[in-house]
Structure 1
């Protein structure tokens, strides 16, 4: 299993950042480079505890679908989304939000994932996805920093 964390400071309150991260339209805008769109479950508005969404996007020249559900929720400090169906054997993304002391937010993404296919998946995880996934999260967070 792969594990990584990305910490980002944003000039908005934890409540505002929390909501932006649960907003389906904001998520698709932040992932525009991969043509991501919501195609199932909640496709508009804010996700809440227990709700799911299916995103479709292009990565590595292929179209992928991932269905995630909000499995934990502590507004506005943290929420967790986990893959129910999709390309990973396991995907868990915990989003943590803390005041930065100056009116902004320190957001920490904690991600654990594993690809299927045994040894082949582990090779893909360590050689490609271990750098690609953090880059994708940093890009998404840069979008949030610009728009908030």
Structure 2
């Protein structure tokens, strides 16, 4: 589902756990094209408490650091709300700060919202 939700960037799992569900300690290497650049990022599941949340953190990749928490909260009507909390920083000191301010702080939320909309459509069409 993740790969399909990121089809616009050609994102694909190229190493580690490349299909199925991931568990605490598992890692995956993603390859994609974002902002016209091809990159790879390996992330590891650093926290996992089903069905409440999991966290993936960059092990190697384009960011100075990347911490992505996914929270799942039940709704009164039997549904689920997924909430993403992402903490990241670009590398390269001042140049990275400029990239965050001018590009990444807008690009990343749009990317995650588009991914979540895709996931929501898939899950809702299954019911």
Q: TM-score, normalised by structure 2?
A: 0.95
2:64 is the counterpart of 1:61: no
Aligned residue number for residue 64 of structure 2: 89
Shift of 1:84: 0.2
Question: After the TM superposition, which of the residue ranges 55-64 and 85-94 deviates more from structure 2?
Answer: 55-64
* 4+ runs deviating over 3 angstroms: none
Shift of 1:100: 1.0
Aligned residue number for residue 89 of structure 2: 114
Aligned residue number for residue 78 of structure 1: 53
Higher relative contact order (CA 8 A, sep 6+): 1
Aligned to 2:24, the other structure's residue is in SS state coil
Shift of 1:74: 0.9
Aligned residue number for residue 38 of structure 1: 13
CA RMSD across the alignment: 0.6
Shift of 1:115: 0.5
Gap runs ≥5 in structure 1: 1-25
- Of 91, 110, 133, which residue of structure 1 is paired with 2:108? 133
Between the two proteins, the alignment pairs up a number of residues equal to: 123
Shift of 1:106: 1.4
Gap runs ≥5 in structure 2: none
